[in-house]
Structure 1
């Protein structure tokens, strides 16, 4: 596992734009799992400025994270694509079969649309009625995940991109005091114990 740098250096070939504790934690973890040399550029979402004061919208006009600059200069901005692309660069993370690749995309899409988006509303709504409704909805969706989790990992026999993003969703659930099935709590804890996850959490001040 190769360290990921927070400042630009000659060995770094990828650049991840991230905000601590957000969904960009998933590709941050995956870069470390893959052992890819990468620069980490912190973004303040509210001001849309990087830690160096640069205008982040000049990188990603949408203003949100993550954004991944690839070694050839191309940019990816949507988390499903970013996580999937990082996984494809690593023999350890790449799905073993075409079916597992499709299953990975299924889980990444589910986490992004059915968990991530409701969580954003949950965290920022001023309505207790809406928060209560979202709480119930999120709990039910986590029950659905638990029913589908047949082994140690979501999309195949080995750890992959879908696991990293689902870990972030489960971390948010724990931080919000939202109960999840015991099988998912154990699954979350197994992922959290991984060295790459701990390194990413420490870098982002989330450990």
Structure 2
């Protein structure tokens, strides 16, 4: 398998999942600013949409959306329990979390990373994101990970997206449960390895 990623972008999440899975894969940097691969290839020739992540299987089949990629990775190694079994209620709860992170958090950060976005729009986005992160903090008061006592692919996604707060002026220092979660996930060996691989941890 090949994972196309941009350091620190949402592709960090499937990169973490692959490290946690133990599966063999090749990580290829596809910076979102240049869209040039290390060998000079134009990334648009591989993914016409131009964004990351992109997972390319050994048979050439592609998956482009993070939540789908995460579940695919988890299902390749059921013994690692990175996702509940398909068809169970818990699997739908995982999907609920993945959808929430994707639409309420991940998408919510978009205005803050968009050049030329008016300050008023950024203020609205920050207010909304802060309220959503406060809700997440309340949920994490109940369990160490979003699905309970065990790490799943949803945790890697939340860790990735919540980590963007420090880059856009959203202060989460008062959210103790979220802060503890970020430290807990960040200390995992697979997460540490991934951060180093993307040049995010010295």
Question: 1:86 deviation in Å?
Answer: 0.8
Alignment TM-score, normalising by the size of structure 2: 0.90
1:77 maps to 64
In 1, distance between residues paired with 2:61 and 2:191?
Answer: 26
Alignment partner, residue 17 of structure 1: 4
**Residue 84 (structure 2) aligns with:** 95
SS in 2 for 1:17: strand
- Aligned counterpart, 1:193: 187
Do the aligned partners of 1:44 and 1:51 also contact (CA within 8 Å) in 2?
A: no
Answering whether residue 109 of structure 2 is matched by residue 130 of structure 1, we say: no
Could you report, residue by residue, the CA deviation over 1:158-196 in whole angstroms, capped at 9, with x for unpaired residues?
Answer: 111100000011111133341232101110110000111
After TM superposition, give the deviation of residue 96 of structure 1 in Å: 5.0
CA distance in 1, matches of 2:10, 2:70: 11
Size of the aligned set, in residue pairs, is 194
Give the TM-score, by structure 1 length.
0.88
The residue that corresponds to 1:120 in the other structure is: 110
Does 2:24 correspond to 1:37?
A: yes
Which blocks of at least 5 consecutive residues in structure 2 are unaligned? none
Partner secondary structure for residue 163 of structure 2:
helix
Please give the alpha-carbon distance, in whole angstroms, between the structure 1 residues aligned to 2:96 and 2:32: 27
Residues 125 and 131 of structure 1 are in contact (CA less than 8 Å); yes or no, is this contact kept in structure 2? no
- Choose from 35, 39, 51 the match for 2:38: 51
**Per-residue deviation, 1:148:** 2.5
Partner of 1:167: 159
Q: CA RMSD for the aligned pairs?
A: 1.5
**1:204 paired residue number:** 198
- Give the aligned partner of residue 145 of structure 1: 136
- 1:49 and 1:41 map into 2 onto residues whose CA distance is 11
